[in-house]
Structure 1
């Protein structure tokens, strides 16, 4: 029973966090699985996060937006945006590595993919940072409230052109994507709903000094509109409320959540039906998460092999296990750590990107604050297709060389497989993986590197 509980909690923290080391896992096993779920959920919203808050804040200072056509100002501004974005990526990766509330950071990453917004178009790191704070602070509450706040978020208003939505010339981008990608899904709205939604959001903007939502009544269409079957003098807040209250919305959101934390499902799947009561009329994200983690299918074999780690969660989890920060600097003194030696300077796929975890994540296909499009990143095959086995091995070797693998190095060769599993927060190896790892037990760096590319580790 204790071994099963240990295995279950290890799965829970791989999906709802960034893995555990053996000592952390032992402590949680004593209290049991349900208690481990409680611990994770207690970290949502405004809960203290001493680990995450210890990370230095990003430097977001940028010059004023450049004058139109002034190439000198444009180049200077672009350089400052690039530097601020790089520091912001470092900050968030370090938060994931250091956080005391891992579910809150994992949920922030989920919402970043769901409400995918890119600095490449927004061009304002402060707006992107404030959106990230919004996800972290409100992401575990009511989805209805979160959707209202996201609709008024400055980065989102730039990204999907709400700031260009004027009475004389409505812009349909946000109205369409809010239904298709954020609340209802494909096929659950009409073009007339898009038009009415766009008219309702006219006059929305944000204050450039304090980065807060403002409403311009002179640019708003106060006329009657029919939206998702309801007619009235709707404004933007009304539109969000109507969309999130539709019966299709809970299934859409719950299917997205289950697919992110367990394994991909359709909105019609029975497991989604099972979650509806916990989500409820209050659209409780924390209630839905509890129901997900306590659902029997969450601990099934399908879940255990149902997802490929995204590059960011893969790297953050590995860094936590190996005692590294986002710059691949050891976070504690380790005289015995292999990382005390310089990184190999051999030419690899990675070196041209610069050796930091955010840059490696970008090389693997996932740039924080810069998703590929409004649909965000894909799942499973998306990552297997974009990342070759050779690149995975290069990443594994880089991490193993820099990280603290002293517990593996100090173990007798016959015990190094178990020591490696404990180091990486895994509960063991399949026979095929064990056979491969047994070939390199005399070489700890290669052993850990190979383990980091194994199905047991790559599958979340």
Structure 2
């Protein structure tokens, strides 16, 4: 026997682990219950090819070299493809997770300038984003797009570049205050010697360009290379606490992570330490602990996050069953790029290495027109039959169900009551409602 509380809790989980959740998706998950729905997230992630949405959205064919003429134009196809993939998948956790890591390891095509390398990074984040963080971090260090983005390509013992060393600690693994400027300079030496092969854009190690050491980093002295430096970073107590806080910020709440939640997530992350297949940096265990933590399932986190623009746009497309084209030159693709640009978040183009902001910064008056444009287009293009076919007296409730909302406030309901006779207008206003702008 399920209750309204059960339905609200599962809706909360599906919204946070996907891009919104329609009433139909919530209804389908309800019989299994909350815990089984959580476990289904990770079971599906184990075999992403089983999702028909993946098969229907093959990645664009982009050159993987970095020896040709650089250009950002193929990024249009890249953006269109990822929007199509996020919209098409049946189980969106893998794409939501990839979107999270794209913000964490923020890399912009505006500097990289090779769409094929950006696609390769996107695939790496998708493939490794639920395994050991050690494996993901190690791959990011030699990811070609990241190497170009943070000037690691060509860093030598005689001319070490500090960008990747700094961000690997500040933004990727430890956080501000858990390293010194001396640590940055010494870590830069540990990361020297890596090159990109122009023929296929892969990372190659040139031993002659690598600093021989020893270096003293984070209080420990050794002749470090990329692998031992990665080991050192993940051995720091700050690493687990940093990743716990980052996951809470993006999936839990803008409010500070509760101490008990932080400890639960740290313990889960470190739970596999010493196991043959893991090193105590289990990202799936961390995510499972988050989604089952009392602070996440409690009422304080419901609708506590403002939707980021990509979440909002993809959620609209999914709810109204609009399939965006994977051709970046198509008219609808251009419209969606314009909307995302107006909202302030275009995939593959973060503003800086810190990624995009969160919270109420997305609710600007400048972005309001972009939301209006999207809502009007979607309401006149998408499938709103669930609302149009309902009796006028039931259309507001039907709109809430279509969009996966528990209910509209009395104030929103009063505004929607004025347009119940015009279903497209009703859906458009529902998409612009305060209830739909938060997650």
TM-score normalised according to structure 2 size: 0.92
Alignment of 1:131 onto 2:133: no
Distance verdict in 2 for CA 1:247–1:184, change over 3 Å: same
Equivalent in the alignment of 1:87: 77
Kindly provide the CA deviation profile for residues 315-360 of structure 1, in whole angstroms up to 9, marking residues without a partner as x.
111101111122499xxxxxxxxxxxxxxxxxxxxx9x97432332
Equivalent in the alignment of 2:18: 17
Secondary structure at the aligned position of 2:62 is classed as: coil
Equivalent in the alignment of 2:342: 363
Selected match of 2:401 from 416, 422, 425: 422
Equivalent in the alignment of 1:333: none
Any unmatched runs of 5+ in structure 2? Answer: 274-279
User: By how many angstroms is 1:265 displaced?
Assistant: 4.2
**CA RMSD, aligned part only?**
2.1
2 CA distance for matches of 1:437 and 1:401?
17
Equivalent in the alignment of 2:44: 43
User: By how many angstroms is 1:268 displaced?
Assistant: 7.3
Equivalent in the alignment of 1:145: 135
Selected match of 1:52 from 51, 54, 59: 54
After the TM superposition, list the runs of 4 or more consecutive aligned residues in structure 1 that deviate by more than 6 angstroms: none
Equivalent in the alignment of 2:182: 192
User: Is the contact made by 2:66 and 2:114 (CA closer than 8 Å) also made in structure 1?
Assistant: no
Equivalent in the alignment of 2:215: 225
User: Is the contact made by 1:165 and 1:203 (CA closer than 8 Å) also made in structure 2?
Assistant: yes
User: By how many angstroms is 1:389 displaced?
Assistant: 3.2
Equivalent in the alignment of 1:447: 426
TM-score normalised according to structure 1 size: 0.88
User: By how many angstroms is 1:400 displaced?
Assistant: 0.6
Equivalent in the alignment of 2:386: 407
Distance verdict in 2 for CA 1:187–1:112, change over 3 Å: same
Alignment of 1:285 onto 2:283: yes
User: By how many angstroms is 1:384 displaced?
Assistant: 1.3
User: Is the contact made by 2:66 and 2:198 (CA closer than 8 Å) also made in structure 1?
Assistant: no
Kindly provide the CA deviation profile for residues 289-325 of structure 1, in whole angstroms up to 9, marking residues without a partner as x.
1111111211233211211111111111110111112
Alignment of 1:298 onto 2:277: no
Alignment of 1:168 onto 2:158: yes
Alignment of 1:324 onto 2:314: no
User: Is the contact made by 1:131 and 1:153 (CA closer than 8 Å) also made in structure 2?
Assistant: yes
Secondary structure at the aligned position of 1:163 is classed as: coil
2 CA distance for matches of 1:47 and 1:62?
23
Secondary structure at the aligned position of 2:221 is classed as: strand
Equivalent in the alignment of 2:277: none
Distance verdict in 2 for CA 1:62–1:112, change over 3 Å: closer
Distance verdict in 2 for CA 1:12–1:398, change over 3 Å: same
2 CA distance for matches of 1:267 and 1:28?
28
2 CA distance for matches of 1:222 and 1:89?
41
Kindly provide the CA deviation profile for residues 358-385 of structure 1, in whole angstroms up to 9, marking residues without a partner as x.
3321221111111000000000122113
Equivalent in the alignment of 2:200: 210
User: Is the contact made by 1:115 and 1:182 (CA closer than 8 Å) also made in structure 2?
Assistant: yes
